[in-house]
Chains A and B, each alone.
Chain A
Amino acid sequence: MTMWLAVLAACALAYALKLAGYLVPQHVLDIPWVHRVTPLLPVALLSALIVTQAVLTNEGHLVLDARAAGVGVAVLLLILRAPFLVVVAAAAVTAALVRAFL
Chain B
Amino acid sequence: MTPDRSPEDRAVIKKSLGVAVATGLYGVTAGALAVAAGLSVLQAMALSLLLFSGGSQFAFFGVIGAGGSPVAAVASSTLLGVRNGFYGLQVSQLLDVHRWARPLAAHLTIDESTAVAVTQVNPRQQRIGFWLTGFGIFVLWNLTTFLGAVAGEALGDPRTYGLDAAAAAAFVGLLWPRLRGRDPLAVAALAVIITVATAPFVPAGVPVLAAVLAALAVGLPRRRTAHQEVAAP
Q: Which A residues have a C-beta under 8 Å from some C-beta of B?
A: 2-11, 13-15, 17-24, 26, 29, 32-33, 35-56, 58-62, 66-67, 69-71, 73-75, 78, 83-85, 87-99
Contact = CB atoms under 8 A, between A and B. Distances in A.
A7 B39 contact: yes
Nearest to B225: A36
A21 B88 contact: yes
A37 B46 contact: no
A47 B188 contact: yes
A53 B85 contact: no
B77 A10 contact: yes
Nearest to A39: B232
Given A35-B230, A40-B215, A71-B172, A49 B59 contact: yes
Interface in B173-187: 173-176, 178-179, 183-184, 187
Interface residues of B, number: 108
Contacts of A6: 60, 70-71, 73-74
Contacts of A97: 162
B106 A21 contact: yes
Interface stretch (B6-14, B124-132, B163-171): B163-171
17 contacts: A3-B43, A8-B50, A15-B51, A15-B106, A18-B85, A43-B184, A44-B188, A45-B76, A45-B211, A56-B199, A67-B162, A71-B165, A91-B169, A92-B163, A93-B162, A95-B164, A98-B162
B169 A56 contact: no
A18 B106 contact: yes
A43 to B, nearest CB: 5
A48 B192 contact: yes
Given A10-B47, A14-B53, A19-B103, A48 B184 contact: no
Interface of B: 22, 25-26, 28-29, 38-39, 43, 46-47, 50-53, 55-56, 58-60, 62-67, 70-71, 73-74, 76-93, 97, 102-103, 105-107, 109, 159-176, 178-179, 183-184, 187-188, 190-192, 194-196, 198-202, 204, 207-208, 210-216, 218-220, 222, 226-227, 229-230, 232
B162 A11 contact: no
A21 B212 CA distance: 21
Given A35-B229, A43-B179, A94-B165, A18 B55 contact: no
Contacts of B218: 40
Nearest to A4: B43
A83 B113 CA distance: 18
A60 B227 CA distance: 38
